[in-house]
Each structure stands twice: as C-alpha cells, then as structure tokens.
Structure 1
Amino acid sequence: MLEPAPRYTGYTAYDYLEAGKDYPEFRYAQQLGRVPAYQGLDLSTEQEERTRRLLAEETVISLHEHVQVFPEDMTDLREHIRRGREPTGYEGLSRSGLTAVFDNGMDGTCCISSDAGWKYQDVLFDLGVRMADLAHQDFVLKAESIKDIEYAAETGRVAHIFALEAATPIENEIDRLDVLYGFGVRQMGIAYSEANLLGGGLKERGDGGLTYLGDRAVERMNKLGIAIDISHSGDRTGLDVIKKSTLPVFITHAGSRTVWPTNRMKDDETIKACAERGGVIGIEAAPHTTLSRKHPLHSLESVMDHFTFCVDLVGIDHVSFGPDTLFGDHVGLHDAFAANLSLGQAHGGIEFEKVPYVDGLENPAEGFFNIIGWLVGHGYSDDEIRKVVGGNTLRVLKEVWV
C-alpha cells in the first residue's frame, strides 16, 4: 500500500459540521487495515518498485467503486443510510493511487424515504450532500470532464465521478437525465437486477429487451454525454443498448459467465458485442461475484481468471477494472440488503463457499496496487498495464463525454 498522497491534509467527511449536533454520530469501519494485508503477490524488490512506479505515474481509473465508509456495526446500517449522509473515505483514497474513480453512491440501498430504494428525491439528496462535502476539501475533486481527470493527474488529486447503477430513478421522465447530468452524473446503468421502464434486469425470468422509453433514454444519454453501463442489464437488453447507442458502452463491473456461470456475469456474445462497438468491460470484485472453478474461494486470483479470459476473448484494448469495493464489511452489506440487491437470483442457485472478504481486493485503498502487482508479476508490459488500469477507459470517455 502507498503512503498518503502529499496533497491529502487529513480531512474527514463532514469536518465542516459538528457530529452529534448537525448529524447523528456513528462509529465507522477502518479505512485501512480492517483485514490482513494481501500476501499473495510475492514480488521481487524490482517488481515491487515497478508496481509503485506504474501506480504513481499512470492514469489509473476505477470504472466502478463505492468509496463511502460504512458503519463498524452493520446493525446500524439502515439507520445510518436513512440519515442520508454517507461519508467519503478520503483517507483510504489518499492511499489508493487512483487518478479517477467512478463512485456509484447508494443506488439500490438508497433507503432514505423507502426501503425499496431507487427514489429520485433520495438520489438527488445523496448527490447534493456528497457534493457539499467534496466542496469543503481540496484533495478529492468533483470531476465531470476529461480536463478534470487530467487536472487531477497533474496536481496530485483524485477525480471523483458520480455514477448510478441504473436509470430507475428517472421513472418515465427522460428530462430527469438532464437533471442528473447537471448534478454531475457522468455514467449510468439502464436497469439494475430488477426490470424497470427502460429495460430488463439480470435477475428476471424473461428479458423483453430495451423498451421504446429505453430507446429514448439511450438517445438522450448519448446527446448529454453520459456513459452507459449494462453491467446489471439482462442479456437481451444489454445487446439492444449496444446496438441502439451511437457511442461505445461500458460493462463497468462484471466478469465472464464462461468462467463462472451466474446471471451476474456476462455471456461471451455480450462481451464481444461491447468490444466490437469500441466498448470496455471492467472486471468486478465484489464478494462472491467473480469466482472461478480454479479459484472458488473469492480472491484476487479468482478475479484475474476473469481478466485473462476476457483479454483472450476480446483483446487487451477492451478490458479494464471496476472492482466494486467499499470501506467496511461488504459481505455484511450484502447480507443486510440481499433482497434489494437481488443476490439470490443473481447467483442463480450456484453453490459457493462464503468468504468474509475478497482477499487482495477488499477496499478501494488496496485494489489497484494489488492488481498492478499481479500484472507485473505475470509478465505484462508497461504498455499493456497502462491500457487496462486506465488507458482503455480514458479512450472511451474521450469519445462519449462532451
């Protein structure tokens, strides 16, 4: 793990307010050292130095994370979320080496006014409160453009990009996409695991594909410059989006269904169609998603089995990483919100051995050091590493964003 970024001054979330007076105080999980450090890289001194150099010098972009800090006691989770003030993990981000991160906020667990989540007013509240906090510090930069990412790289900051895992909150109002864009959202899914008015989700028994409203939403997102994500869309909907969009789309956080046969993974046809239109798949690492037959206990090695398969399938120019990590007990979050997140249907009855955390990819602070270290240890060139840790994503964003 890296030393804190020089620009980081120690700011913690909502420092400009008084805990206990302006908002309820909770005990939060450690951002660093919550679980033992990963021991699986076994790098030489030269390889470790190369890993640190690449992490420090290259544009490193995570296509999908949740950079909030969760309560230490997960029985406090729902009450914490209802208060609508999730803290950004500034300390952890200062050790991550990330140049830019797509932060997906609360989304399906956004239960301020309703346990069902996805309510438009709740999402706007979450975005506004998070932006107010970002505005009170000078290390994590609210980013909305390529220039913002470049500025973050030049000045030692982290570019924070708001994203949503589904367009469900717009309901049947296309103009809400413009509002969300105005709030800073620059990447958005079509549907989460549940179908919505735009298209089918990956948990459904049947997938009717992109609706006429979905067609309009894709057109508007193309015009606005919102990158489209099909990670949680059903197979037919995902293919329809790729065909309808005039611009490349992302699969921001998934893996290969050939490597691990669950609905949460993407089939070869979708991954290839995404790549053929210039898009990129970001390899997922949330607990119990990107398992493999070779590494059925979820770890960095399981995740990299999906990476190597996808590189062989579509080429290294179309693969990146969207680890989907957070600061705190990710398995505990899944347990608490299993119904909201459709975990049972996503796993599709496939049995697996549960782990308390994904060894090597437990949180945003450690993920890319270990990813780059694995790539260095397995003989990838600097140019190949440069592509998969940020270059491929940046290429698509330069085409999609206005």
Structure 2
Amino acid sequence: MGLNKKYDGYKAWGYLTPGDDYQDFGMIDTNGLWPGMKPFYFPLTADQEKRVEKIAADNIIISLHDHPCLFPKDMNQVFAYNREGREACAYEALSQSYLDAVFDNMMDGTCTITSKGGWKWSDIIADIGIRLCDLAHQKFLIKAEKVEDIERAHREGKLAWVGAIEGAAPIENELDRIDILYGLGIRLLGVTYSEGNQLGSGIKEKNDGGLTIFGEKAVERMNKVGMAIDCSHVGVKTTLDTIRVSKKPIFITHCGARALWDINRLAPDDVIKACADKGGVIGIEAAPHTTITKNNNAEHCVESVMEHFEYVKNLVGIDHVTFGPDTLYGDHVGLHDAFAQHLSIKQTSSGVQHPKMPYVRGFENPTEASKNIVRYLVMKNYSDTDIAKAVGGNVLRVLKEVWA
C-alpha cells in the first residue's frame, strides 16, 4: 500500500496548544523538506515507473532504522528542542513515503532532557512515554508489537511504528529493565551505542573486551522476551560474542562495509559474514559521512550508499541485506555538528578525511530514501523476488523468528 496511505491529517501534538503547552521552535515544513534541500530521485523510463508503483503497492517495505521526526529550521535550537522532550513525529511526510513500517529510534544519542551526557533511564522512559501519548491521539500509525501488526498496516494503508533503542546503557545493571522496555513496546535494542557499557564495548573504545558476563545475560534475556538485538554501534569482538551467544539471528540495522570505507563505524567482512551465517540481516546506512566509498564516491551520495548495498549483497547474498537509512526530517549534518560529542562522530570516523556535504543527495529523509531504494533496484533490473527480500522480506523473516 505504499502509494495509498490513509493519512488523516493529524500533526504531532495536535491535542495541545503550541506556545502554551509546549515551546514552538519553528519547525521545517511538515512534508519534510528543509531550506537548502533539493530532492533527488533516480530517473527512470515510463515502464520502470510503472514497475516501481506496482512493487511499492504489492510489497511490505520496511525501514530497519530511522529517526522519522521533524526538526527546527534553525539547528542552533536543537539542544533546547531536545530538552523539551517532544520530538515531532513527521506523520504527513511519512504518509508520502513508500514505507509500511519504520523502526523509530526516537532521541537515541541525543536524549538529553535532564542530562548533558544523555542515555539516562528516566530520560529514555520520558521519551518513549511522550511519543506513545502522541501516537495514541492519531489513527495513521499503528504501534507494532508483532509481525501481524506490520502486515495489517500494509493491508490498511497505514504505517507500522516500531519502537527501538540503539544502545542498552540505560538498563545499567538491571536485566528486568529489558522486560520493562518490551512492555512499553520497544522491540529492538542495541547492545552499545559507540561507548562501552555494562554489556560490552562500543566502536568508540580503543580496546574491545567483548561481551561481559552481564552482557551475556542481557542477550539471553532479550532472546527470552522476544526483543530483537542490534549491533550497529558495537565493537567487533563484542558483536561476534553477541552473535555467538544469541540463540536467535541478530540485526546490524544501520551500517556498511569497512572494506569500502575504513572507519570504525562500518563493519569488517568477518562481522558481516558472522551475522549472515547466523541468519541475521545487515541494514545499509545513509547518515551523512558514513557509507562513503574510497574508490568511486568520496563525496557521500545515493550512489555511494548503493555501493555498500551491492558489496554486502555480493558478500553474503540477497537474503541478508536490507536498508536502515538512519535519516530524519531536517538538517542532519547540522544535528551532527551540534551533537558531535554525544554521537562520538570523531572517534567512530577513525580520523579519515572526506569532503563535507550539506546532505546526502537522494537519502536525505525517510521519504526520499524509501523511494530511491525501490527506484534503484528497478533501475538495476533486480527481480521482483529479490526486491521483495531487500525492501522488507528479509526483516520479516528474522522478526518471525525473534519476536514473541
């Protein structure tokens, strides 16, 4: 139902009065465009356009990792915006996408409502609770807790919203907090977010000690409750340990191939292979200045993102690759500049130099990304079967095995 969304016109916090109940920060347009952004879509023939429409209508299309929220026009306000604790879900812009489901990671990495450092349990719970309150006042997004919810969203022309958290630091040393997060609707949890925590080492750390004893228990608990596991920001040894300990396949929801761009943020071949060998899936990342390629596309763009897709697909097969664009509706580079320390950008980029782009052409937000993914696969004449796997089928296969 990618072309026939039943959007009801609701805007985030529509049950409240801006300026009275919460601070109005002057958001970008509700369609997701921001000043200076020029949309780009792969040019196709008339026959290819018809095929794109059919594929978008017939298949369940999933973003394995995004932050589908509107941001202020002026990114200098982003700290105050995040402290307000009310990131605005971009309902209208999402209704213009091809997506049937989106894994929403909300304020991950920037959840600084009460703390400069972020990742505090109370802040994460506030972030989840306020978002769920907003979702409860609209009818377009379905809070998805089972695979059946994603399938229903596709049938009904709605969008399945899946709650996710990129790193497990907020659970501290409390295993039961995994159960609490599950009870609140979170269905995917990262082991670490770049920095090490009680579970193991992140990609920021100089020394990777692997999964801790508590980390092993946390992986076992996630398996038991039906929580999907993510290792996108996790150190190599800790990731390999997680894959070994987990009785279920895992996700690397937003990443790329280190063989194409040698930075800590991307995965080496042995990690990609280990994930696939266990039945897992790798989502290709598109956040600014990540999935660059050293030989062909040193300037980050839609073509470089797709190089990483092709590389991973050739390495482990079409059954183990999808897309986790990691995009948002606003000035993403501006957000990175503002939260550079929180997001560990310097450390995870390994000091590798590259041209700084204002945005990733063709992958600037979830709407643009969802359309260009399908357009690219059609342009390259992938079969209908392989397209169905790459845009959502692979994710559904793992979720059917992992979710309770």
1:189-338 matches, cutoff 5 A: 189-293=190-294, 294-338=296-340
Q: Does 1:32 align with 2:32?
A: yes
CA distance in 2, matches of 1:38, 1:269: 34
Residue 210 of structure 1 deviates from its aligned partner by 0.2
The question of 1:158 aligning with 2:175 is answered no
CA offsets, 1:149-198, max 9 Å, x none? Answer: 11111111100000000111000111011111111000010001100010
Q: CA deviation at 1:147?
A: 1.1
Q: Comparing 244-253 with 42-51, which one deviates more in the overlay? A: 42-51
2:70 matches 1:69: yes
Letter in 2 for 1:302: S
TM-score (norm 2): 0.97
Q: Is the 8 A contact 2:5 2:158 kept in 1?
A: no
Match of 1:347 in 2: 349
Q: Residue type of the partner of 1:182?
A: G
Kept after mapping to 1: 8 A contact 2:33/2:330: no
Post-superposition shift, 1:6? Answer: 4.2
Matches within 5 A, 1:43-192: 43-192=44-193
Q: Residues 255, 217 of structure 1: CA spacing in aligned structure 2 closer, same or farther, 3 A cutoff? A: same
Query: Cα distance, 1:56 vs. partner?
Result: 2.1
Cα contact 1:52–1:369 (8 A) shared by 2: no
Superposition deviation, residue 33 in structure 1:
3.5
Q: 1:212-233 deviations in whole A, cap 9, x for unaligned?
A: 0000100000001010000000
- 1:362-394: CA deviation from partner (whole Å, max 9, x where unpaired): 001111111110111111111110000000000
- Please identify runs of 4+ aligned residues in structure 1 that moved more than 3 A: none
For structure 1, the 5+ residue unaligned runs are none
In the alignment, residue 292 of structure 1 is paired with which amino acid? T
Seen in structure 2, the aligned counterparts of structure 1 residues 186 and 147 have a Cα distance that, compared at 3 Å, is same
Match 1:378 to one of 368, 374, 380? 380
Contact 2:33 2:329 in 1 (8 A): no
Give the TM-score normalised by the residue count of structure 1. Answer: 0.98
How many pairs were matched up?
A: 399
Unpaired stretches in structure 2, ≥5 consecutive residues: none
How far apart are residue 237 of structure 1 and its match? 0.2
**Distance in 1 of aligned mates of 2:6 and 2:171:** 37
Q: CA shift at 1:53, angstroms?
A: 1.7
* d(CA) in 1 for partners of 2:377, 2:5: 26
Deviations 1:335-384 (A, max 9, x none): 00000000001110101001000000000111111111011111111111
Is the 8 Å Cα contact of residues 320 and 394 (structure 2) preserved in structure 1? yes
SS of residue matched to 2:163: strand
Structure 1 counterpart of 2:8, one-letter code:
T
Q: 1: distance between equivalents of 2:33 and 2:70?
A: 13
Find the residue that maps to 2:361 and give its secondary structure: coil
Query: Aligned-pair distance for 1:26?
Result: 1.3
Contact 1:108/1:116 (<8 A) preserved:
no
User: For residues 377 and 6 of structure 2, what CA distance do their matches in structure 1 show?
Assistant: 28
Partner of 1:395: 397
**Aligned mates of 1:144, 1:136 — CA distance in 2:** 18
Aligned partners of 1:277 and 1:94: how far apart in 2? 35
CA contact (8 A) 1:218 1:241 kept: yes
Q: 1:48 to 1:219 in 2, by over 3 A?
A: same
Q: Does 1:360 align with 2:362?
A: yes
